[in-house]
Each structure stands twice: as structure tokens, then as C-alpha cells.
């Protein structure tokens, strides 16, 4: 026992000696290198008046960016706009970060000065290309000195305070687009009237659901169910028409063309997270459309009512002018429904007509549907970008309405009907073809958009 106790005491003495040696070595090292150790100091804070001025400018830039993001602009454009607005107001070192739902801006005066940071969250989205055009004009006027900072802030207040446009002209724009699209696919008379009426009913139902807090997915289900129900009503009354064209026209109101284009832009310009989020939004909307169609088709089969898929054939020379005109009208009415300024409506219609004419021409010479759609979308993006640069406005005013006639609404409906009928491989193949056409539209229009003027990446703050 005595031996064990002495051994333990010896071990403790050795541990204490070792600790003393380590402490002495550390102290000598720090003393020798003390002149190389940076002093720990608190960052300098900006004076209170300067902090308020900086915050006001950052808040102005973020509000403009939030309106752009909510209205359908791409992430790269939103980041660029925030930085340009801040620099035009005198803040040179601003870092920005934009995701699908939030925007952050930080002003860094110097390395040893505490930054000023603010955040803004986007909780609600509504396509409004009128606001896109207004903010684009505001940005250019501020950069060129035609507006002072105070005037720019006042103008942004006016743009933000403008109420959402749900007046009858918007409703008629959506309904007219559905009717024009049904004519584009070969419908006539009663088909166009039914698509027009069903779209008004579906739009009002979606607005009613929105006011009561229903999620967007279920609003989409309701809208597509109304369009399919109208087609079933035509079939039940034994009208000698292709009632499936009512569905194809009605669901065009629900297709998020802006989100599809913006998601591909985000992915190609280095914002994969935002691109994935927008892509998920597109998939959820598509799922809502097919769910509404499926529910009504099942109910129709239970009631003994069946509708087929209209056969899409190549347009004869006599039909080409009518189809091209219908595409132009559909694009112009989509522009009306999304609040495009009146001066741009005719151009949007002309670009939509030209895109559909390109599809017909390429299809006539034997080009596949997907490649023909991609080329037509590229031409739409090219023309929209060129026209926007000439008129000094936002390109989406022309591009998104221009691609709407290219969206494969009838293929989506046909795929769902085929699935309901029990032909799973055929239905899945049609839905995959519709997805491929959608991706071809987005990739083609993005390429055309960037050929004339590449999408500018945000400038990072100087260090």
C-alpha cells in the first residue's frame, strides 16, 4: 500500500511539472511573437444619422427588388437591380443575396467599420409585367440622373401602392386567351364560347378561394376542374364538337410560363437553389392542373360521360393564316391579363404569331415537335430582347406572352386522359413529351434572350 501511494504522488508531481513546462513554453512563444499578433478591437459604428440614411437607401433598393421578384423577374436581374440602385444612390460597397423568398443587402463602409444590413421577405407572388416595366424605367432614370434619390423613392411608393389589377379587363384577357387558344388548336364556334365562359367561372372561383386563404395548389386544381367540367358538359349534351379543346384552352390560364422561363434562367446564370425552387413551383402547378383534370375525368367516367382527345393534324395552307392570327390574339390577350402596358400589346401579339408561324413552318419540312418548339422559342427570345432594348423596357413584356402559344396544353390533357383510360405507358409518354416541350421552350427563349445582351451577373462589393 505504501508503495502504491508513493507511486501515485510521483505521477501527480510529473503531471504538474509537465503542465508548468507547457505554460512556460507558451508564454515564451507569445512574448517572442507579440509584435505579430493583431490587437483585438471592436468595429467602429457609423454615426446614427449616417446609419439612418444608409438604411433608407438599402430599404429602397430591397423594396424594388422584392417587387421584381414577386412579379416574375429572374434572380440575377433582381440582384443586379438592387446593386445598381444602391450605387446610384451613393452606396458603393453593397453585398446582396437573393433567394426564392428573401432578399438581403449589406453596406460595408470599410474593413473596420460595422456593416449596415437589412432583410426583406417575399410572401406573395402575382404576375404583373406593368410593375416590371415601371421598375425598369425607374432604375434607368435614376442611373442616368433624371431622378434624384428622393424622387426615386417617391416613385417606388407609387408603384408599390398601386392596387392589384383584378378588374374586368384582366378577366376578359384570360378568358379571351383561352378561347383563342382553343381556336388555335382547331376549335370553332361553341368550343371557343365554352372555353371563354369556363375560364371566367374558373378565374372567379380561384379568386374566391384565394380570398379565403386556400393554398395555390388547390386553386389550380379548382381552375382545371372547371375547364374539364365544361368539356364534360358539352359531351353530355352531345354537341358535335371536340370538347377536349375546351380543356386545352382552359388550362392555359394556369400554366406558369414566367416561372418556367425564370427557373431555367436562374439555373443557367449560377443560381441553382432559386432555379430549383422555381422549378418545384412549376411542377406543383402542373400537378395541380393534372389533378383537377383527373378528378373530373373520373367523375365523368362514373357518370357515363367520356371525352376523347382532339387529333392534331398539320395545318393546311388555308388554315395557316387563321392559326397564326389566333396565336397572335392569344399572346396579346395574355399580355393584357398580365398587365402589360398598352403600347406593348401589339408587339407581344406579333411575336406570339411569329413564334407559332415558325413552328408550323418547321413542322411542314419534317422537323420534330421538340426541336421546332425550341427554335421558335429562341426566335421569340431573340425578338423580345431586341425589341425591349430598342424601346428601353423589360423583355418579359414580349417574351412570356410570345411563348404562350407554344405551351403543349393539349398534350398535357391527352396524357391525363390516356392514364385515366388505363394506358399507363402511353399516358406517361405523353406527359414526358409535354415536359420535354416545356424545357425546350425555356431553354430556347433563355438562349435567345442572352444572345443580344447577356444577363448581367451582380457586381460584388469592393474589399
Q: Is residue 1 part of a domain?
A: no
Model confidence, pTM: 0.75
Domain with 67, as residue range(s), is 48-161
Average pLDDT in the chain: 77
**Residues 319 and 193 both lie in one domain:** yes
Cell numbers at 106, concatenated: 449589406
Mean pLDDT of 55-84: 87
155 and 179 in one domain?
no
For residues 198 and 246, membership in a common domain is answered with yes
Q: Which domain-ending residue is among 145, 161, 177?
A: 161
Q: How confident is the model at residue 429 (pLDDT cuts 50, 70, 90)?
A: confident
- Return the exposure string of 382-408: e unless at least 16 CB atoms fall within 10 Å of the residue's CB, then b: bbbbbbbeeeebbbbbbbbbbbbbbbb
**Is residue 221 situated within a structural domain?**
yes
Domain shared by 156 and 244, yes or no: no
Measure the CA–CA gap between 359 and 169, rounded to whole angstroms.
30
Cell of 264: 431555367
Is 15 within the bounds of a domain? no
Q: Are residues 145 and 221 in the same domain?
A: no
Residues with Cβ < 8 Å from 131, sequence gap 6 or more? 67, 68, 71, 159, 162, 339
Show the CA angle centred on residue 58, arms to residues 56 and 63, nearest 5°.
95
Let me know the angle formed at the C-alpha of 85 by 82 and 100, rounded to the nearest 5 degrees.
15
Q: How far apart are CA 331 and CA 403, in angstroms?
A: 8
Interior angle at CA 67, CA 284 and CA 56, nearest 5? 140
Written as nine digits, the cell of 263 is: 427557373
Flag whether 402 is in a domain.
yes
Q: What is the mean pLDDT of residues 185-207?
A: 81
Helix, strand or coil for residue 98?
Answer: strand
Q: So what's the pLDDT on residue 62?
A: 92
At 284-293, the pLDDT tens digits run 887 888 888 8
Residue 423 lies in a domain: yes
More confident residue, 62 or 29: 62
Q: How many domains does the chain have?
A: 2
Q: Which residue has the higher pLDDT, 103 or 3?
A: 103
Find the helix or strand (DSSP H, E) in which 211 lies.
helix 190-211
> Do 114 and 220 sit in the same domain of this protein?
no
Using the predicted structure, report yes or no on whether residue 181 has a pLDDT greater than 50.
yes
Q: For residue 312, what pLDDT is reported?
A: 47
Instruction: Say if residue 142 is in the same domain as residue 242.
Output: no
Give yes or no for residue 184 having a pLDDT over 70: yes
Which residues, other chains included, contact 413 with Cβ-Cβ below 8 Å and sequence gap of 6+? 244, 247, 248, 251, 293, 309
Q: Which of 161, 185, 202 is the last residue of a domain?
A: 161
Q: Which region holds residue 238: left if phi is over 0, alpha if psi is between -120 and 50, else beta? A: left
Give per-residue pLDDT as tens, 8-34.
566 566 555 555 655 555 555 545 555
Indicate if 125 and 270 belong to the same structural domain.
no
Q: Are residues 136 and 222 in the same domain?
A: no
Same-domain check for residues 297 and 157: no
Domain boundary among 107, 139, 161: 161
β-sheet with 116-121: strand ranges across: 94-98, 102-107, 116-121
Residue 157 located in a structural domain = yes
The residue with greater pLDDT, 95 or 127, is 95
Q: How many residues make up the chain in this entry?
A: 463
Q: Do 359 and 248 belong together in one domain?
A: yes
432: pLDDT confidence band, cut at 50, 70 and 90? Answer: confident
Select the more confidently predicted residue: 241 or 156: 156
Closest to 223 measured CA to CA, from 171, 270, 186, 269: 171
Same domain assignment for residues 62 and 206: no
Domain membership flag for residue 37: no
Residue 458 in any domain: the answer is no
Amino acid at each position: 500500500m505504501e508503495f502504491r501511494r508513493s507511486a501515485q504522488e510521483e505521477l501527480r508531481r510529473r503531471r504538474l511539472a509537465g503542465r508548468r513546462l507547457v505554460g512556460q513554453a507558451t508564454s515564451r512563444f507569445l512574448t517572442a511573437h507579440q509584435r505579430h499578433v493583431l490587437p483585438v478591437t471592436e468595429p467602429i459604428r457609423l454615426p446614427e444619422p449616417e446609419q439612418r440614411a444608409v438604411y433608407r437607401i438599402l430599404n429602397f433598393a430591397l423594396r424594388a427588388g422584392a417587387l421584381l421578384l414577386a412579379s416574375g423577374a429572374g434572380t440575377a436581374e433582381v440582384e443586379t437591380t438592387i446593386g445598381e440602385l444602391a450605387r446610384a444612390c451613393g452606396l458603393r460597397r453593397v453585398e446582396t443575396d437573393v433567394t426564392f423568398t428573401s432578399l438581403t443587402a449589406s453596406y460595408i463602409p470599410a474593413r473596420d467599420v460595422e456593416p449596415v444590413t437589412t432583410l426583406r421577405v417575399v410572401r406573395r407572388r402575382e404576375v404583373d409585367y406593368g410593375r416590371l416595366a415601371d421598375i425598369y424605367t425607374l432604375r434607368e432614370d435614376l442611373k442616368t440622373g433624371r431622378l434624384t434619390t428622393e424622387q426615386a423613392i417617391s416613385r417606388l411608393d407609387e408603384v408599390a401602392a398601386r392596387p392589384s389589377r383584378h378588374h374586368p379587363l384582366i378577366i376578359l384577357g384570360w378568358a379571351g386567351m383561352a378561347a383563342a387558344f382553343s381556336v388555335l388548336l382547331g376549335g370553332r364556334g361553341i368550343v371557343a364560347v365554352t372555353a371563354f365562359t369556363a375560364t371566367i367561372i374558373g378565374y372567379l372561383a380561384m379568386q374566391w378561394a384565394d380570398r379565403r386563404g386556400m393554398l395555390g395548389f388547390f386553386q389550380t386544381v379548382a381552375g382545371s376542374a372547371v375547364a374539364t367540367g365544361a368539356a364534360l358538359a358539352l359531351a353530355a349534351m352531345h354537341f358535335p364538337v371536340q370538347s377536349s379543346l375546351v380543356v386545352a384552352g382552359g388550362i392555359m390560364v394556369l400554366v406558369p410560363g414566367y416561372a418556367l422561363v425564370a427557373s431555367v434562367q436562374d439555373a443557367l446564370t449560377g443560381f441553382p437553389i432559386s432555379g430549383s425552387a422555381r422549378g418545384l413551383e412549376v411542377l406543383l402547378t402542373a400537378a395541380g392542373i393534372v389533378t383537377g383534370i383527373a378528378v373530373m375525368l373520373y367523375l365523368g367516367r362514373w357518370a357515363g360521360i367520356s371525352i376523347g382527345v382532339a387529333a392534331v393534324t398539320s395545318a393546311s395552307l388555308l388554315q395557316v393564316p387563321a392559326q397564326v392570327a389566333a396565336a397572335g390574339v392569344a399572346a396579346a390577350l395574355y399580355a393584357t391579363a398580365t398587365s402589360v402596358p398598352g403600347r406593348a400589346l401589339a408587339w407581344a401579339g406579333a411575336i406570339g404569331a411569329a413564334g407559332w408561324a415558325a413552328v408550323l413552318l418547321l413542322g411542314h419540312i419534317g422537323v420534330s415537335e421538340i426541336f421546332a418548339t425550341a427554335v421558335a422559342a429562341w426566335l421569340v427570345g431573340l425578338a423580345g430582347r431586341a425589341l425591349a432594348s430598342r424601346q428601353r423596357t423589360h423583355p418579359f413584356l414580349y417574351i412570356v406572352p410570345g411563348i404562350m402559344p407554344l405551351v403543349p396544353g393539349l398534350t398535357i390533357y391527352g396524357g391525363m386522359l390516356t392514364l385515366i383510360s388505363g394506358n399507363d405507358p402511353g399516358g406517361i409518354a405523353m406527359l414526358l413529351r409535354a415536359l420535354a416541350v416545356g424545357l425546350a421552350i425555356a431553354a430556347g427563349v433563355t438562349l435567345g434572350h442572352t444572345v443580344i445582351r447577356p444577363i448581367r451577373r451582380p457586381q460584388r462589393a469592393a474589399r
